[in-house]
Structure 1
Amino acid sequence: MTSSSIQTLFDSQKNKATALRSAPISERKAQLSKLKRWILDNKSRIYEALYQDLHKPQLEADISEIFPVMAEISHTLQHLSEWTRERRVSSGLTYIGTQGKIKYEPKGRCLIIAPWNYPFQLTVGPLVSCLAAGNTAILKPSENTPTTSRLISEMVRELFDPSWVTVVEGAIDETQTLLSLPFDHIFFTGSTPVGKIVMAAAAKHLTSVTLELGGKSPVIIDESANVDDAAKKIIWGRFTNNGQTCIAPDYLFVHHTQLKNFLASAKKHIRKLFDPSSVGMRQSSGYARIVNPRHTQRIIDLMESALQEGAKIAIGGTYDLESRFIEPTLLVDIPADASIWKEEIFGPVMPIQSYDSLENVIEHIRANDKPLSLYLFSKDRRTQERVTQETTAGSMVINDVVLQYAHPNLPFGGVNQSGIGKAHGHYGFLEFTNQKSVLKQRVGFTNAMLFYPPIGNFKKKVLDFMTRYF
């Protein structure tokens, strides 16, 4: 699209955004219900698009793309009336005679920039929160998943007037044009480097942002853990969607007494979960692919670099660039200064480090950027409390992985390098909402007049008393 046509789309949403401020909540619910019905009626189209772009198995598409959006819509419809209700607040002794309340109003025109790894869910999920809050939206799906992007564009045209929701397809030029516009809120999901670009562009207009970024999410398996249980969960969380998940376990610290058994269990569960028919991982219909050759080559280079630096392949290691295939791979004996410890892998390769001292593991985590998620497998309550207390992450899960993302009552988001703001459920609604404070004062004499000038001794004594005891 040209810059002028994008500007026209943006301008066309101004009046609608204003009208939505006073529209009944039932209008928002009606749009969300229409969206839910469309998804149910067009699941086959979603399956096909995701298969074309990512070779994503149908069951995986259901679990990771369709179900989270449907659950988000259902949860929102159930609670939206409650979320939008004005909330009265206590005035306290200092503000006797006043009435205070919080009014939840739409921010206005919003931009949602989505990534390619979960192209349907990470476009439509934020849209649910945006619509629930009463905003308009321009969606920018990823050009790296063109089939799904076209499907989203078709869906939006079928469901919404462009003045309410519309889609801008394209690549860098279109994104840069969108970022130059004075949106009222930007919701971006993607890498940390691009997130910095988005935030810099938003700063020019003082636009609020939600940045759902990534980073290296560590896993700790201590000596008390059920290692087979841990291996099954980690293998599922890591290699689903071919490792292209922002909250996937990125690297493992395994207590040295557990390493041998972990590798044996991991090998077993890779086959059971992703090649259940034993036809070979390359032929398996249950294993997705990397999104494109460029990202495939990046992951291969990262793995080969680690091997050249002294790492060893414990499991897997084969790949084929042309078919975008990389076998589930576990690496061990990796030098501490290897680049694979520093870069987010975002693919089906997982480095493992055995450890003796939990203190050293905690120090490593604290010395690096705060992760989007942190996972601990331990049956020891003191270890659970220590890791929770002594580390920082956007989310933490004990004895499982990834599941926190879809929890309806937990906020999802990162810290610093791994993200700004929260998403999902009530927290996603609040991201797209201005929480406006409204104070109503009585007419005539008020407490505040006690402190109008001139200030004499009596007023000073009253102020001193209030400062000490109120």
Structure 2
Amino acid sequence: MSSALRYNTFEEITEIHARLSKAFRSGKTRPLAYRRQQLLQLARMIQENLPAIEEALLADLGKPKFETSVTDAGPLVGNALYAVEHLEEWAKPEKPKVDAWRSSWDTTIYYTPKGVVLIISPWNYPWVLTFNPMIGAIAAGCVVVLKPSELVPTCSQLMAELVPKYLDPDAYAIVNGGPAETTHILDLKWDHIFFTGGTKIGRIIAAAAGRSLTPVTLELGGKSPVVIDDGFDDLELAARRTLHGKVQNSGQLCVSPDYVLAPWDKVDALAEAFKKAYGEFFPDAEPLGANSDWGKIVNPNHHARLRGILERSKGEIVIGGQNDGDRRIAPTILKNVSADDSLLEEEIFGPILPIISVDSFDEAIQFISSRPSPLVIYAFTKSEEAKQKLLEQTDSGSLTLNDTFSQLIVHEAPFGGKGDSGCKSMATPALLTTVTDLACSDGGYNGKYTFDTFSYQRMYNNIPSEAEPFMAMRYRPYSGEAYKTMNNAAKANIPTA
């Protein structure tokens, strides 16, 4: 399999945009039968090309095929079939309850496709983070341009070859390129932009969207903490489940546990529990051994960045710390890490996990709440009081108790960030200095929530002529009787509490 990635020219990108825009205006993507057929084709594309997808992920990221099946292929096939099963239910018009005097207006909410949408996906999970949003866009009746990451050339080239073979090329297309091509893409007019990646590029995407008042969804990341409650004693379970989340894709995951907050009197026992879990996960060979299936960091620059922040750390390495010249870093656990350590400066996005000592659960909450909202907070606790404190005193895209990573398989609830970790907003054209300058609400997608992201709720009313006697009082010249009647709403009784 060749990893040579062919970039699209500016002319090709413009032509693709025009072709898809024409297809949307023709209405061909609106019938549910069409959407269903395209969703089934997407599922077939993944299922029938699983060996090639496994090879591509191995070439780009050194990813074991087990992880490919669990985190990429399986979810995509399952989510596409789930969308097919629920498509009619999602797209069904709604009849909201209205005041009695408007009951004859036939008020209806129609779920209407937004139109021509752009999905820009990252390198860390190139398949699921490209096609999972696309499932919702297809289900909503949109046409879609996909822009996968150039940092995973084998995967992106394979996508470019497969998509036109399985999906309608008039409605769905892959565009490949680097920063220059992406800049040209963003200069075109879109009806929605969906971006998954880091906050730095997120600001650029949001600013570009703001220039044309394009709705944008930003799925970002952040430093997702793990909190060990004072009264939680099963540290082996906490270590095993935390390490499992950390080693997924070699730590290159937006919901990867970024650091652990643990009571100081549990830190040493927790460190020993991590050692035990480490030995269970790698029983036959070190992660950097010749026969190991341990994955790679995406490129030398990121590898060097991780080596750098680890070398500058003043924490004590409990286990791991080794690296090689083939873009691999062993899973590394550190303790006695201070709040101003190099490992706390930015999202780690690699297989390094620092443990920070705190005096109490309340101090851990203060530590989290004083920092930007993470994509997820993980906590190991059996306390209802601790749960309520986390819900009431912290912010995050999601909260998961007593496990890590598993929230990603819950397609019945929305997945997304809050503030710096993600948003869904109508971007403003102002120069952005922080992601929160968007004044955005939380982002969210998964199952129907992805469908909702790429739909807009179009209101419909049909006011019958028989309502004219009532409507007549709104006309000029205004009478005192009409004023009294129409002013009743302003004089409504207001409860004292």
TM-score of the two chains, using structure 2 as the length reference: 0.90
- Does residue 318 of structure 2 align to residue 314 of structure 1? yes
1:396-423 superposed Cα distances (whole Å, 9 cap, x missing partner):
1011111112211110110111111211
Contact persistence 1:394–1:414 (CA under 8 A)? yes
Correspondence for 1:438: 460
Secondary structure, counterpart of 1:265 in structure 2 = helix
Distance 2:152 2:221 in 1: 19
Correspondence for 1:422: 444
Contact persistence 1:94–1:447 (CA under 8 A)? no
Distance 1:132 1:25 in 2: 8
Correspondence for 1:325: 328
Q: Which amino acid aligns with 1:238?
A: K
Among 450, 463, 466, the alignment partner of 2:486 is 463
5+ residue gaps, structure 2: 1-7, 424-442
Comparing 460-469 and 436-445, the one that deviates more? 460-469
The structural deviation recorded for 1:105 is 1.1
Distance 1:361 1:300 in 2: 27
Q: Which amino acid aligns with 2:179?
A: I
1:303-360 superposed Cα distances (whole Å, 9 cap, x missing partner):
1121xxx32212211112x211111111222232223213000001111111112222
Distance 1:440 1:175 in 2: 44
Distance 1:271 1:355 in 2: 27
Distance 1:355 1:236 in 2: 23
- Does residue 134 of structure 2 align to residue 134 of structure 1? no
Distance 1:271 1:117 in 2: 26
1:273-292 superposed Cα distances (whole Å, 9 cap, x missing partner):
2x232355433534211111
- Does residue 133 of structure 2 align to residue 111 of structure 1? no
Among 340, 346, 350, the alignment partner of 1:347 is 350
The structural deviation recorded for 1:167 is 0.8
Among 232, 236, 253, the alignment partner of 1:245 is 253
Q: How does 1:258-407 map to 2 (within 5 A)?
A: 258-273=266-281, 275-278=282-285, 281-306=288-313, 310-320=314-324, 322-407=325-410
Distance 2:280 2:102 in 1: 65
Correspondence for 1:36: 43
Distance 2:101 2:366 in 1: 46
Q: Which amino acid aligns with 1:234?
A: T
1:211-248 superposed Cα distances (whole Å, 9 cap, x missing partner):
11011111101122221111111000011110000011
The structural deviation recorded for 1:461 is 2.8
Secondary structure, counterpart of 1:262 in structure 2 = helix
Distance 1:382 1:21 in 2: 53
Distance 1:289 1:429 in 2: 34
The structural deviation recorded for 1:457 is 3.1
Distance 1:305 1:356 in 2: 25
1:279 to 1:312, Cα distance in 2 relative to 1, 3 A: closer
Contact persistence 2:111–2:455 (CA under 8 A)? yes
Secondary structure, counterpart of 1:161 in structure 2 = coil
Contact persistence 2:60–2:152 (CA under 8 A)? yes
- Does residue 132 of structure 2 align to residue 125 of structure 1? yes
The structural deviation recorded for 1:463 is 3.1
The structural deviation recorded for 1:469 is 4.3
Contact persistence 2:288–2:323 (CA under 8 A)? no
Q: Which amino acid aligns with 1:242?
A: S
Correspondence for 1:221: 228
**Number of positions where the alignment pairs a residue of Structure 1 with one of Structure 2:** 465
Q: Which amino acid aligns with 1:312?
A: E
Contact persistence 1:404–1:410 (CA under 8 A)? no
TM-score of the two chains, using structure 1 as the length reference: 0.95
Correspondence for 1:203: 210
Contact persistence 2:337–2:357 (CA under 8 A)? no
1:255-300 superposed Cα distances (whole Å, 9 cap, x missing partner):
2232122111111212322x23235543353421111111000111
Among 179, 183, 192, the alignment partner of 1:172 is 179
Distance 2:213 2:487 in 1: 39
Contact persistence 2:267–2:357 (CA under 8 A)? yes
Distance 1:416 1:452 in 2: 46
The structural deviation recorded for 1:466 is 3.2
1:16-69 superposed Cα distances (whole Å, 9 cap, x missing partner):
112336742011111111111221111110110000001100101111111121
Q: Which amino acid aligns with 1:394?
A: G
5+ residue gaps, structure 1: none
Comparing 451-460 and 163-172, the one that deviates more? 451-460
Comparing 47-56 and 444-453, the one that deviates more? 444-453
Secondary structure, counterpart of 1:352 in structure 2 = strand
